[in-house]
Amino acid sequence: MSVNVSIDANQQVVLVALAGEIKDADLIEIAAVTKAHPLFEPSFSEIVDFSAVTGGKVSTFAVQTLAQRASIYNRTSKHVVIAPQAHGSGLTRMYQAYAHETRPNMEVVHTMEEAYKSLGLECRTEDLR
């Protein structure tokens, strides 16, 4: 599994792209990797992309624990999750239900274009670095 964090500072958005088989530890490391990025700002919005995830084993306990943990983002930040496959969509909906207090501005979509549209941004993935 790989986690890649890219930031478009001009549009104030963090893109977290996951690929391969995911497990609890992979999801837990996202916050640390994101926070360590030199361009990270807690006021930015976040897009988490599960498009390249092929499967894996993630526990309900891990999803619940992560969702209820304090966010590294400001409370007003928007979180959009791209979950085109059934396995990612189910996990994401569960996370969304548990995170209603810690991440109240969360939406689940199916494509990158929908994610950017949800944030009111121009989809310019070539600007992400």
Q: How far is CA 122 from CA 10, 40, 42, 52, 84, in A?
A: 11, 19, 20, 22, 20
Q: What is residue 18's predicted lDDT score, i.e. its pLDDT?
A: 93
Residue 93: pLDDT band with limits 50, 70, 90: confident
**The pLDDT of residue 122:** 82
Decide if domain 2-127 falls under CATH 3.30.2270.10: no
pLDDT band at 129 (very low <50, low <70, confident <90, very high): very low
At 80 the pLDDT is 96
**What is the percent of the chain with per-residue pLDDT over 70, rounded to a whole number?**
95
Q: What is the token pair recorded at 93?
A: 């909906």
- pLDDT tens digits for range 39-68: 999 999 999 999 999 888 999 999 999 999
Q: Where are the domains of the chain?
A: 2-127
Mean pLDDT, range 95-108, rounded to an integer:
93
- Residues 68 and 85: their CA atoms lie apart, in Å, by 24
Q: What is the mean pLDDT of residues 84-101?
A: 85
